[in-house]
A and B are shown apart, each in its own frame.
Chain A
Amino acid sequence: MTNENQTYFEDVELGDEIGPLEKVATDEGVVDFCTLWGNPIPNRFTSDEEAAKAKLPGPIVPGVMSMSLMAQLITDWAGPDGLKDLDVVFRQPVPHNKPLIITGTINDTRQEDGENVVQCDVLMTGTEGERYIIGTALVSLPSRS
């Protein structure tokens, strides 16, 4: 039996796009994330002063928070158990309170040890062409049969 909300391996092709998912990491959202994460506040993610000490132009979004936003793109598409690996490169600091556009592109599909594996390029950009984070995700998808 198939689920109409589930993405299946047979349905994807090289070049298919995933998203976009638009998120904003607000000041409050970053504070909440740091609190949950256990990172003492204030820190360079929440305070102008601490950010300046780290030679940053302002408080930035924590890397793990950015990764969690990127992971959401994949889990929204593939289901909560689909994401096997997310490997990213941080190219620019991710700012608070600005739209973050997250997109994916399927660049490989293959079967490995009986598993249906999809590889995607993933990208977090700004609205003015900033490339904050690039990376790849490995996704496992179920088969229709």
Chain B
Amino acid sequence: MYFDLHCHSVSSDDSRATVEQYLKWIQVLRKRGYTVDGIVLTEHRKFDFDKDYSQLADDYGVIVLKGSELDTRFGHFLVYNVTQGLANDIDFADVRMDARELMKAAQHHGALAIPAHPGRFGIGLVEFMDKGETFEDVKIVERLNGGGRPGENERADELCDSMGYLGTGASDAHLASHVCTCMTNFGMDICNEEDLVAALLSGEFSPVRLEETSIT
């Protein structure tokens, strides 16, 4: 299954795409012969407990899951399978939180936190590791980011190769036509956020560019 694990709807302050626009755009991609099964909305510094996209998901035949992208003092982290318990323990709006505490709290609550765009210049995890910081709980990073500048995904490649990390792929879309430019290919079925975490922990996935999903 092909999932875009990182995109932002208008619920994030810097996005201009509604969820429905993403789903309409996925129909365009499907008409062009590409395969997309689902997306994960990872809104900045928040989790939308009150938002239900199940009707839209049914209407367009796309699995729509929810997550978060949190700012930490060691860069941005994507969090999957956010629970109320995790939100009670972690202040999602705290941009100076320690990513190591976030990862431990996520694990405690059945969620998973992974570094987003670790090769990003200035704010990616690589910058902090180069300064001597260590992150023993990191096993998976976002290796392929659709919003990366030249050189950033290459830095993530080097990180994965040198540390033995597994890598996901995602678009980091903030506009409708950018969704699913990069995705993660999973070897198992995913219907909800718990399945997603199980699939990530299984290690059976790989990052892909949209072009690699073509069925023609």
Question: A interface vs B, CB < 8 Å?
Answer: 14-15, 87, 89, 91, 105, 107-108, 119, 121, 123, 128-131, 134-136
Contact = CB atoms under 8 A, between A and B. Distances in A.
B24 A14 contact: yes
Interface of B: 14-17, 21, 24-25, 27-28, 32, 147-150, 174-178
Contact of B177 (A87, A121, A129): A121
A91 B149 CA distance: 12
B159 to A, nearest CB: 19
A134 B15 CA distance: 9
Contacts of A89: 14-16, 174
Nearest to B32: A15
Contact of A131 (B15, B147, B177): B147
Given A87-B16, A89-B174, A134-B174, A107 B21 contact: yes
A105 B176 CA distance: 9
Of A91, A107, A136, the most chain B CB neighbours within 10 A belong to: A107
Given A14-B24, A89-B14, A107-B21, A128 B149 contact: yes
Given A107-B176, A108-B21, A129-B149, A134 B16 contact: yes
A136 B147 contact: no
Contacts of A105: 175, 177
A105 B148 CA distance: 20
Nearest to B15: A89
29 contacts: A14-B25, A14-B28, A15-B28, A15-B177, A87-B16, A89-B14, A89-B15, A105-B175, A107-B24, A107-B25, A107-B175, A107-B176, A107-B177, A108-B24, A119-B21, A121-B16, A121-B175, A121-B176, A121-B177, A121-B178, A123-B175, A128-B149, A128-B150, A129-B148, A129-B150, A130-B149, A131-B147, A134-B175, A136-B17
Contacts of A119: 21
Contacts of B32: 15
A130 B24 CA distance: 27
Contacts of A107: 17, 21, 24-25, 175-177
A89 B15 CA distance: 8
Given A105-B177, A107-B25, A121-B177, A136 B150 contact: no
B148 to A, nearest CB: 8
Going nearest first, the 4 A-B pairs with the smallest beta carbon separation are A105-B177, A107-B176, A121-B175, A136-B16
A143 B35 CA distance: 34
Contacts of A14: 24-25, 27-28
Nearest to B16: A136
A90 to B, nearest CB: 10
Nearest to A109: B24
Contacts of B149: 128-131
Contacts of B177: 15, 105, 107, 121
Nearest to A88: B16
A89 B147 CA distance: 14
A136 B24 contact: no
A92 to B, nearest CB: 9
